Structure 1
Amino acid sequence: MTERVLTPRNRGFLFLDSHPAGCRRLVDDMWQSCPAPAGAPEGTGPVALIIGSSAGYGLAATVAGLKRAGIRGVLVSFEKAPTPRRTATAGWYRTAATADLATAAGRDLVFLNGDAFSDPVKDQVADLIEERFGGRLDYLVYSVAAPRRTDPDTGATYGSVLKPIGRANRTKTLLFDERGVPEVREVETGPAEGDDIEQTVAVMGGADWERWIDHLSARGVLGDGFTTAALSYIGSSLTEAIYRQGTIGAAKAHLEATARTLDERLGATVGGRAVTSVHGAAVTQSSTAIPGIALYTGLLRGVLGPDLVPPIRQLAALWDQLTGAEPLALDDEGRIRLDAWELTEDVQAAVADRWAAATTDTIAGLADLDWFRAEVQRLYGFSVPGVDYTAAVETDVPWPAATP
């Protein structure tokens, strides 16, 4: 037994430990807050593959897929196990909790822990689909955010960077000191240099998504009508210099171009389709690393309050569109848009006014700081209502076994 009393220890937005009970409660709360379908999902459910299933929108895709569509299939993530000195990563504990949800719902999900960029993991997934799920895959949801990717063909390792393109960008950002006191500071990020853009596109663009489709197609496991969606973000003009017009934006543009290529190909081969799905702002482990996004999200919550749409509700809407329960709502670029609530003129104008007024002295009255701080802690299982953080908790939680 490795029971410990865990308290949050962090360096900025990065926490050193995760709380198993908090992570479990967070997943349970997501399940409860996901709208139930009009009728219980019938039959054995469609076979789905979700890549990046343990965090953020990928986790929401998993929980919503279970509840809204009754999915079964394979979930892929890359998490660290507990050690004598450290807890497991939060995604490890969230995956264990998700496995229990699937068991309670009577759905057959297999959870793989490995590098989704690698061909051995792709082979393992294809084997499972052939041997366990009748050789037919119905859906693939791609939700991967990673700092590096190794190309299986060349062995070259690429690294993604968060940089503007063309010139340096100076923006406001939100920080917290060790006591949790907020500070609004201006930071400058130098422009992309050398092959920064190409490196970032190689990691965060559509290359690996397309490689998954190539691999699964070669194995003959794409079912008739197979549909795939890659999750994406556009965001506000306030953050576009570092995001949509920056290196990450170039990767997102490549992802969207890949969707158009895959859509034509899948339509011709299996009567299927490929789309990108654009979602709204949320506090995630990836988004907090982007300069300005923390400030923007806190201000957005200050404007919208509880009307800010959480990932679980957005992914419930995505599954309804993917399964045909609701018609596909595509923009002129062929993208599913689930971010309209964030980008209306009145909401963006209100956020822009607060952004202009935001300083260390004024930020408490402009942004929902209590919510933002709690959301960051909840990423690691802390500040979750209903959890007794004074009690010792077992940290040595096993990875879900693939039961026969």
Structure 2
Amino acid sequence: MTRRVLTPRNRGFLFLDSHPAGCRQLVTDMWQACPAPTDAPADGAGPVALVIGSSAGYGLAATLAGLKRAGIRGIAVSFEKAPTERRTATAGWYRTAATADLARAAGRDVVFLNGDAFSDLMKDQVADLLKERFGGRLDYLIYSVAAPRRTDPDTGTTYASVLKPIGRANRTKTLLFDDAGAPEVREVETGPAEGDDVEQTVAVMGGADWERWIDHLAGRGLLADGFTTAALSYIGSPLTEAIYRQGTIGVAKAHLEATARTLDERLGTTVGGRAVTSVNGAAVTQSSTAIPGIALYTGLLRGALGEGVVPPVHQLAALWDQLTGAAPLALDEEGRIRLDTWELTEDVQAAVAERWEAASTDTIAELADLDWFRAEVQRLYGFAVPGIDYAEPVSTDVPWPGHAA
């Protein structure tokens, strides 16, 4: 058993190691923060759900909120790396182990699978488990996948997603930290999409794989009457729309939403079910920190709202309430569930825009909640979690959750 004292080592917002105990405590904190239902299903009696992209960000929040709020059982899929002699496992590996323990303690039968969700091999594995272990019927599917590339199982072609504006270069403010942790506000320019950048990004981050999952499971006769599926999405602020909603990733999100409308019509006809996209509010995630301007925007949003920023697990608890009928299904004119309304009110956006305009290296500490933002980034990897003694050696050899019947 490998025991090490782990300290945060990073390149920008990317950390080289993850802390197992910190990741476990973070998951426990999210679980405790999730509001409990008034009438949770009895052990083994909850709906059968499949969460694709279950180990990080909103997918992790969907898994934890589904377990606690809706009493789900079923399957969770993610793609994580095991520990090696030189490196710890990825943070999602440790978060999954902690989630599995919480599910077991709550009496929820959940199988955690590690592999490529884009592959037909994973789809077959999930379908076999649903048939053999969960009665051959799936009630809910949550799709929360953010990936840099995808290989099409039919053609073998590998597509790569890019974060680029469309039509012309975009120049925006962004937030960086130097090696000593000092903040810097800098302007960065991102060149426009070229060639087939848009098509490649849509192939990875659009709705093609989501629809393939539905087709695969429907073809095996595994969709229960009333089957409901939701893909998690984001729109964001006008301050970031040039690089996000109006950029390559925005075209992919529009494709995801169009796919939802197609699936909704089909599922309504075949199983009396439905498909929706759920638009979530801003959060510090491993995916979002890679987008120019998003780090600055999120820090300023926290500076403006403080504790008014709604944590992902609270947003996903609200999603499960709507999906299960515990709360009315509230859709916008595009048929989307909106969990971001707290962020996009005129008052909030005006306050953030004023801070954005004034933001510079000299003023950023007054305008953004930098302590919170830095800690949130570290917590993605299990560091800066309250209650953890980081001077103590910790075992990095945490096994992936088994799934014996």
Normalising to structure 2: TM-score of the pair? 0.99
Q: Distance in 1 between matches of 2:347 and 2:22?
A: 36
1:162 counterpart residue number: 163
1:201 counterpart residue number: 202
> How far off is 1:41 after superposition?
2.4
8 Å contact from structure 1 (residues 41, 68) kept in 2: no
Q: Distance in 1 between matches of 2:202 and 2:40?
A: 41
SS of the equivalent of 2:279 reads strand
SS of the equivalent of 1:318 reads helix
Q: Distance in 2 between matches of 1:193 and 1:392?
A: 48
Residue 38 (structure 1) aligned with residue 41 (structure 2): no
- Give matches, 1:124-143, under 5 Å: 124-143=125-144
Residue 216 (structure 1) aligned with residue 209 (structure 2): no
Residue 251 (structure 1) aligned with residue 252 (structure 2): yes
> How far off is 1:27 after superposition?
0.3
Give the letter for the 2:230 counterpart. Answer: A
Q: Distance in 1 between matches of 2:304 and 2:318?
A: 23
> How far off is 1:40 after superposition?
2.5
Q: Distance in 1 between matches of 2:266 and 2:39?
A: 34
Give the letter for the 1:160 counterpart. Answer: S
Give the letter for the 1:278 counterpart. Answer: V
Q: Distance in 2 between matches of 1:216 and 1:323?
A: 20
Q: Distance in 1 between matches of 2:168 and 2:161?
A: 18
Q: Distance in 2 between matches of 1:41 and 1:109?
A: 15
Q: Deviations over 1:236-279 (max 9, x none)?
A: 00000000000000000000000000000000000000000000
1:181 counterpart residue number: 182
Give the letter for the 1:14 counterpart. Answer: L
The list of structure 1 runs, each at least 4 consecutive aligned residues, that deviate by more than 3 angstroms after superposition, is none
Q: Distance in 1 between matches of 2:266 and 2:389?
A: 52
8 Å contact from structure 1 (residues 5, 393) kept in 2: yes
Q: Distance in 2 between matches of 1:102 and 1:248?
A: 33
1:68 counterpart residue number: 69
> How far off is 1:42 after superposition?
3.5
SS of the equivalent of 2:189 reads strand
8 Å contact from structure 1 (residues 206, 258) kept in 2: yes
2:84 counterpart residue number: 83
Residue 12 (structure 1) aligned with residue 19 (structure 2): no
2:122 counterpart residue number: 121
> How far off is 1:38 after superposition?
1.2
- Specify every segment of 5 or more residues in structure 2 that has no aligned partner in the other structure, as ranges: none
Q: Distance in 2 between matches of 1:9 and 1:191?
A: 32
1:26 counterpart residue number: 26
- Give matches, 1:230-245, under 5 Å: 230-245=231-246
Q: Deviations over 1:104-132 (max 9, x none)?
A: 00000000000000000000000000000
Give the letter for the 1:2 counterpart. Answer: T
SS of the equivalent of 1:208 reads helix
Q: Distance in 1 between matches of 2:404 and 2:275?
A: 31
SS of the equivalent of 1:229 reads strand
- Specify every segment of 5 or more residues in structure 1 that has no aligned partner in the other structure, as ranges: none
1:337 counterpart residue number: 338
Q: Give the root-mean-square deviation of aligned CA atoms.
A: 0.5
SS of the equivalent of 1:342 reads coil
1:300 counterpart residue number: 301
Q: Distance in 2 between matches of 1:77 and 1:372?
A: 25
Q: Distance in 2 between matches of 1:330 and 1:181?
A: 42
User: How many residues align structurally?
Assistant: 404
> How far off is 1:403 after superposition?
1.7
Q: Distance in 2 between matches of 1:42 and 1:247?
A: 45
Give the letter for the 1:296 counterpart. Answer: Y
Q: Distance in 1 between matches of 2:136 and 2:4?
A: 44
Give the letter for the 2:51 counterpart. Answer: I
Normalising to structure 1: TM-score of the pair? 1.00
SS of the equivalent of 1:374 reads helix
Q: Percent identity, please.
A: 86
2:290 counterpart residue number: 289
8 Å contact from structure 1 (residues 81, 92) kept in 2: yes
Q: Distance in 2 between matches of 1:217 and 1:346?
A: 45
1:274 counterpart residue number: 275
- Give matches, 1:364-383, under 5 Å: 364-383=365-384
Q: Distance in 2 between matches of 1:194 and 1:293?
A: 25
8 Å contact from structure 1 (residues 210, 262) kept in 2: yes
